[in-house]
Structure 1
Amino acid sequence: MDDELPEPLRAVEHELTVLLRRGRAVSWEIAREVHPNLEPNAYGLLLWLRRCDSIRLTDLAARLGIGKGTLSRQINGLESLGLVRRDPDPTDRRAAQLSLTEQGRQRFDAARSARLRQFRRTLEDWPTRDVEEFARLLSRFNEIPL
């Protein structure tokens, strides 16, 4: 059956596997830079919160494609570390707006700066057009529901 798959598809699967393995290693590293007790998958949550500034839990769960219960447990962990806060939603008293605390923002920004410097070093020999195309193709791939 595997032999029936076109070579380019097998190459994509292989490269994505390598990318995910490298991504997990980087996530562990950067999570520890934000906070020694931060779970690696929480970096993505912090990135969304930094990008959105403030967002409802249900909206964030929908964007990430995870359940509200799972997300709520992860947010509780980030709150206990002092990185995230919940504020009452002015439009719905039953809901809350999630955002980074000042400490969360500072720690995230410092860790992200280090990560971006690493990306810059890794891609510095690539032509700008290649980096732009790489970003475009990754974005296109990431928009596909799995």
Structure 2
Amino acid sequence: MDEHLPEALRAVEDELAALLRRGRALSWEIAREVHPNLEPNAYGLLLWLRRSGSTRLTDLATRLGIGKGTLSRQIHGLEGLGLVRRDPDPDDRRAAQLSLTEEGTRRFDSARSVRLGQLRQALESWPDRDVEEFARLLRRFNDGAL
């Protein structure tokens, strides 16, 4: 590692690596709760679909920073599991609107409540203002991340 990096930057790198390791493990666990055949990276995709209600594939690909072909393959797999549906876009028949199915919403909400419970437990001793600041700083980091 570069000896010239400030200690605080090294600490951020260490903590981010630990967070990512734990996040990958948690993604496997949560994905299996949604559906036994669900890929772990699909949880984030389902989260965005749950938040948006309905979105175009191209808009979702842009938001997630992945290629349309990759996203289309992932969506196809989620459709096969009965979690996502693809409907024609009323404004552009060449495009599709993606959304969770009723079953997808039910399964996602159930798994998400477990995840939120784990977060609540991890942060229960924190003052509300610290949790709000943590969320703000994570958002700021993610907005500026490559």
TM range (shorter): over 0.9
Paired residue for 2:25? 25
Please give the root-mean-square deviation of Cα atoms over the aligned residues, in Å: 0.7
Paired residue for 2:39? 39
Paired residue for 1:136? 136
Shift of residue 129 of structure 1?
A: 1.0
Identity value in percent: 80
Task: Give CA deviations for 1:65-99 in whole Å, capped at 9, x if unaligned.
Answer: 11000100100110000000000100001000000
Paired residue for 2:76? 76
Task: Give CA deviations for 1:112-145 in whole Å, capped at 9, x if unaligned.
Answer: 0011011111110111111111100000001014
Aligned partner of residue 144 in structure 2, secondary structure: coil
Query: What are the ranges of 5 or more consecutive residues in structure 2 without an aligned counterpart?
Result: none
For residues 43-82 of structure 1, the aligned pairs below 5 Å read 43-82=43-82
Greater mean alpha carbon deviation, residues 94-103 or residues 1-10 = 1-10
The residue type equivalent to 2:82 in the other structure is G
Distance 2:133 2:110 in 1: 27
The residue type equivalent to 2:140 in the other structure is R
Distance 1:87 1:144 in 2: 33
Distance 2:145 2:130 in 1: 25
The residue type equivalent to 1:58 in the other structure is T
For residues 9-20 of structure 1, the aligned pairs below 5 Å read 9-20=9-20
Task: Give CA deviations for 1:26-51 in whole Å, capped at 9, x if unaligned.
Answer: 10000000000000000000000000
The residue type equivalent to 1:8 in the other structure is A
Shift of residue 2 of structure 1?
A: 1.4
Aligned partner of residue 95 in structure 2, secondary structure: strand
The residue type equivalent to 2:38 in the other structure is L
